[in-house]
Amino acid sequence: MITCFIRYEIDPFKVEAFKEYARNWGEAIPRCGADLVGYFAPHEGSATTAFGVYSIESLAAYEAYRERLRNDPLGRSNYEFAKAEQFIRREDRIFCKLASAPHGQLIKP
């Protein structure tokens, strides 16, 4: 299992648009095959940093998931919504693998 962390730089005057975007992914992402942890909008501190976090089986599964997301009606409309509203200034992704387990137990590779 790998986890994708998406860091967004958003327009601080369009946080509500980002929240709508996040709610839409809350429906589309699980339907298309990823385990959504959640989307996080600014609350305190930086007014321009937001996050999306989800897990998926592997990078191969990620590629298939992305294709399903591109073909999903809500996924397509959400991409278009973000493009039209221009509330995302920058988006970075990193894929991580869990290195710890509950109670400090090491996870075997």
CB 64 within 8 A of CB 54: no
DSSP string for residues in 12-69: TT-HHHHHHHHHHHHHHHHHHT-EEEEEE---SS-SSEEEEEEEES-HHHHHHHHHHH
Q: In this predicted structure, what is the pLDDT of residue 105?
A: 57
pLDDT of residue 46: 87
> Domains, the chain, ranges and CATH?
2-104 (3.30.70.100)
| SS3 label, residue 88 | strand
pLDDT computed for residue 98 by the predictor: 87
pLDDT (0 to 100) of residue 47: 93
Identify the weakest region by mean pLDDT among 16-25, 45-54, 55-64, 95-104. Answer: 95-104
Q: What is the CA radius of gyration of the chain?
A: 15
Share of the chain above pLDDT 70, in %: 92
For 76-105, how does the pLDDT look when each residue is reduced to its tens digit (9 = 90+)?
999 999 999 999 999 999 999 988 866 555
Q: Residue-wise over 9-26: b if at least 16 C-beta within 10 A, else e?
A: ebeeebbebbeebbebbe
